[in-house]
Structure 1
Amino acid sequence: MGQLHKYYQIKASWNEKLLGRRSGPQSVKISTPGFFTDVYPLPPDDESWDYFDFQKELFTKLDGLQLSGKLDYKKPIDFMGAYYSRITMIACVSEKVKRILEELNVSREELTICPIALDGISETYYVLFSPVLSVKELGLDFSRTLFKDDSEKGKLYHFSNEEEMLENYNKEDIRYSYKNIVISRNNLCRKIINVQYGGIFFSDVILDAFAENGIVGYDYIRPGSYFYKELDFS
């Protein structure tokens, strides 16, 4: 195994020094007709529906898709939010970010890049999508993965397997989320990891390149944040 990389979660920045006084981060609304109804609808309320079958079809549709959209605020930056939110949608980014990701040879299995034409903007921007990886595919180590009870601060749990985890997820009076996630070391080859139920993590290889190239518009999700999670390997 090569160098042990670290992985972090990031989000579109809401930094007033960068953006000025605004009601939220710079974001892009995707306005492509039919995108959120035909290409990427919300999951149906149907127990027989299989997310991973849907995801396979989704990424076939995304391949080569040209999007359109508009900015929430006038001036675009390198890294922006994109909505309406979906679990595989990362951000809307500049050509500079796209070039970095291509130079780092981020695998097409980890990332799909769709160009988006923004109203009133001559440059092309891009929406990034990363497929969710199942806990089985990631080799989630349930013996070391910790869950927190969001309804009772400080209470932590282990589950013995995915079935037990899902059974507890479905309890109406309790809200569980990951505190730290431990997956197989076989995933250290990945530069982007979208963990089932856990969100998207970026390798330090990508984030170091962002810093070196002066990419603006993103913040790290820091310890203490409700959304913060650690990703480790066994």
Structure 2
Amino acid sequence: MTGTSIRRLIALTLALALLGGCARSSHFDRWDARTSPGSGMTVVRSGDTLYSIAVAHDLDWRDVARWNGIRDPRSLRVGQTLRLTAPGHRSASVVQRSAPVRTPQHARDASSRSESTSPHWLWPAQGRVVSRFIDGSSLQKGLIISGALGEPVRASTAGEVVYAGNGLPGYGNLLIIKYDSTWLSAYGYNEKLLVKEGDRVRAGQQVALMGRRDGRALDKTGSLLFQIRRDGKPVDPLLHLPNR
């Protein structure tokens, strides 16, 4: 092998190593960069809302608000540090939800949460379910519904758009719609969002265009990631959606 060939081989090897490093530091690492493992804290970035932070950590947004003395969910500031556990709670290596000592007021809060009944949910898209919810899974927290790129995505229930953006790794263009203080629905992988934060939407209203699974640019078909959350925790959408 000539000297020129050896130099080319070395250059190619270095280029492949650099590309591999770039691939590993993908958008899925962005959330970890601002949340130190075991710290129970996170830093607010541009585009974050109280609801998106709660969804990212499977927490009830009301708990996050109470732990941080937040009265208005719209009052977050970029660079603000938020605790993700109750004050006085020692965080483990994995952030866990920890309830404070019950007081009569907290007991009334818990009672009001349990009394909230599930709304009437509609299917957000017409396609086939290709991935189902698995209780306790860190990955399969909802349904993946297949369809055509650009197909309408519809609000599963009426409510307020409390997040519209692409700041949560793994969700792509994401909408979060709040039905009430207990129930949220999330719609990910969208090609285009048709509503913005603060909008009120009707059940069945078109809110987005179906896109590809996040990061799968070669997919020829569309996909929708759909989640239903009660008190911040994912629940099985098939237990709430009508049979079809």
- Alignment TM-score, normalising by the size of structure 2: 0.27
- Structure with greater Cα Rg: 2
- Alignment TM-score, normalising by the size of structure 1: 0.28
